[in-house]
Structure 1
Amino acid sequence: MKPLIVLVLSFTISIFIVKIIKNEYDLELSARIAMSTMLLFTAIGHFVFTNGMSMMIPKFIPNKISLVYITGILEILLAVGLIIPKLKVVTGWALIIFLLLMLPANIYASLHKINYQKGTFNGNDINYLWFRIPLQIFFIVWTYLSVIRI
């Protein structure tokens, strides 16, 4: 829920800031700024809640802590790439692939009731997926409409 709030708030704020700077509305730029802000916000979690996030990765995958750090760095790089005009389309596709690849971790976390912030097994259950999966699809559609569909 927090990433959605960050996305919507930063989109709303960036609409007005872009209007002031460019003297016109640029909804695609504002949407990219918002997605970048949301990615930076979620990337922080990879460094603050590393142990809990590593619990979201199935047991058969090695080097979980390193993978959490790598995905956090990747989110930062994706956030930057969305803002650079020459990189926005390739970054948009990379972000869509990234979001699709992260979906199994969210499903795994729900099935095992992982609370990644606390690093415990008393988190959201399978019902959380009724929110999380549509949210993931929303992020993918947001990225496609604001970055790729030109």
Structure 2
Amino acid sequence: MKPLFVLLVTFFVAFLSQKLLFDQYVLPLSARIAMCVMLFFTAIGHFAFTKGMTMMIPDALPFKKELVYFTGVLEIFLGIGLLISPARIYAAWILLLFFIIMLPANIYAAIKHIDYQKGTLDGPGPNYLWFRIPLQLFFIAWVYWSSIKY
């Protein structure tokens, strides 16, 4: 829920700032700025809640902690890439793939009742997926519309 809030608030701030500062606005640019800020926000979680994030990765995968750090850094670079014109399309396609790959981790965490912030097994559970799966699809559509379509 927090990433969605960050995304939407940043979008409206970017949109209004463009209007006030430049007397124009470009919706896709506002959307890319918002996604960049949201990715920075979620990347912080990879470093602040590493223990809980490693719990979201199935036991069969090695180097869990390193993978959590890597994905945090990747989110930062992809967010920046959305704002650099020559890199935007590539960053967007990688980000779409990233969102698709991360969905099973979110499903796994919900099924196992993982609370990644606390690093415990008392999270919201499978009912959370009624929100998380549409949210992930919304993020995918957001990136596609703001970075690939335009």
TM-score (ref. length: structure 1): 0.98
Deviates further, 83-92 or 42-51: 83-92
Distance, in Å, in 1 between the alignment partners of 2:34 and 2:117 is 23
> What is the 5 A alignment of 1:109-148?
109-148=109-148
Residue matched to 1:95:
95
- For the residue of structure 1 that corresponds to 2:86, the secondary structure is coil
> What are the Cα deviations for residues 85-123 of structure 1, in whole angstroms up to 9, with x where unaligned?
111111111110000000000000000000000000000
Which residue identity is paired with 2:40?
L
CA distance, structure 2, for counterparts of residue 140 and residue 120 of structure 1 = 28
Paired position in structure 1 for 2:85: 85
| Larger mean Cα displacement after TM superposition, 18-27 or 113-122 | 18-27
Correspondence 1:38-77 to 2 at 5 A: 38-77=38-77
Matched, 1:18 2:18: yes
What is the number of equivalent residue pairs in this alignment?
A: 150
RMSD: 0.7
Moved runs in structure 1, 4+ residues, more than 3 A?
none
- Matching of residue 108 in structure 1 with residue 111 in structure 2: no
In structure 1, stretches of 5+ residues that fail to align are: none
Post-superposition CA distance 1:9-68 (Å, at most 9, x none)? 000000011223333111110000000000000000000000100000000000000000
Once residues 23 and 88 of structure 2 are traced to their aligned partners in structure 1, the CA distance between those partners, rounded to angstroms, is: 22
Take 1:45 and 1:142, find their aligned partners in 2: how far apart are those partners? Answer: 21
Q: Which residue in the other structure is 1:31 paired with?
A: 31
**Structure-2 residue corresponding to 1:7:** 7
Distance in 2 (alpha carbons) for counterparts of 1:83 and 1:137? 21
SS at 1:83's partner residue? coil
**Amino acid corresponding to residue 32 of structure 1 in structure 2:** R
